[in-house]
Amino acid sequence: MKKLTYLALPLCFAATAQAQSSDKPRSSTDGTGYIGASVLLSSEYLGSADEEIRALPYLSFDNIKGFTLFGTTLRYRALDIGTGQGLDKWSLRAGPSIGYQSGRESDESENLSGFDDVDASIPLGGFIRSTIGPVGLGLNIGKDIAGGHDGVTADASIGTFYRAGNFAIQPTAGLHWADNKHNDTFFGVSADESVSSGLNTYDAGSGIYAYSAGIVSWIEIEKKYAVSLIANYRWFTGDASDSPILNASDGSRNGIFATLGISRKFDTTKW
């Protein structure tokens, strides 16, 4: 599971923007789940120039008694108001969330020789998602409770949604902020690590560490199956982009994630 960092993608809204009249905003994917398999391409760790391809199971669902799972983030709709989703509608959802972020092992890079391994993190916090006509806005904040980086992260996004028949695409743009604990864990170099690796000592402070652009797209087949593509590209910035880890011979100021999957739809409205 350690390669799943980028699965926690910042989504503006994970459901189709279909206009409906109701007291609460609903979408055509409410009460719908998908289970299947996918092929994942991702950077080996934050700041790595090397990618890895893996096969993974795929599971997602939207609004099972208020719970939504996408990627490695589980959310609960404690607040769910608005007129619906569509060109002349608006919606606002908010509530608690919990996710998963992979760590890093020193043997993944020659330049990380002598570094301490970074354990996986579980960010616990909350989210806000809003749609205003065709525009979606999102914010997710979490504090690691598993002892991985022990820091606070915040991901903000903006995007839109387009559907034509059984094909849909959702492009997004994101901004990623973290405190000094998170940034120093992944981008900093301590005095001891400098001696063992040969990299210069470096202290990464809090701030915006990356920008991203991504898409979520899928096509439904015979109303029972779906082929999906999820892709995300990150540009590291601020203290992160100046890190000796990213500027080492096997480091990179960019990061990539892409997954292609096939899944079967299932109905959860009676659960």
Give the right CATH number for 5-267 from 1.10.357, 2.40.230, 1.10.3470, 1.10.10.
2.40.230
Average pLDDT over residues 212-239: 95
At 6 the pLDDT is 34
**CB within 8 Å of 34: residues ≥ 6 apart:** 58, 59, 60, 61, 226, 228, 263, 264, 265, 266
Confidence label for 254 from pLDDT (cuts 50, 70 and 90):
very high
pLDDT, tens only, 131-157: 999 999 999 999 999 999 999 999 999
Residue 204 to residue 184: CA distance in whole angstroms: 5
Please tell me whether residue 209 adopts helix, strand or coil conformation. Answer: strand
One-character DSSP codes across 22-82: SSS---TTTTEEEEEEEEEEEESSTTBS-EEEEEEEEEEEEEETTEEEETTEEEE-SEEEE
pLDDT of residue 67: 95
Q: How much is the pLDDT for 28? A: 53
The domain locations on the chain are 5-267
Cα–Cα dist 262/271, whole Å? 23
Task: Give the gyration radius of the chain's Cα atoms.
Answer: 19
Given this model, what pLDDT does residue 216 score? 94
Tokens found for residue 195: 């001696």
Q: Given this model, what pLDDT does residue 268 score?
A: 82
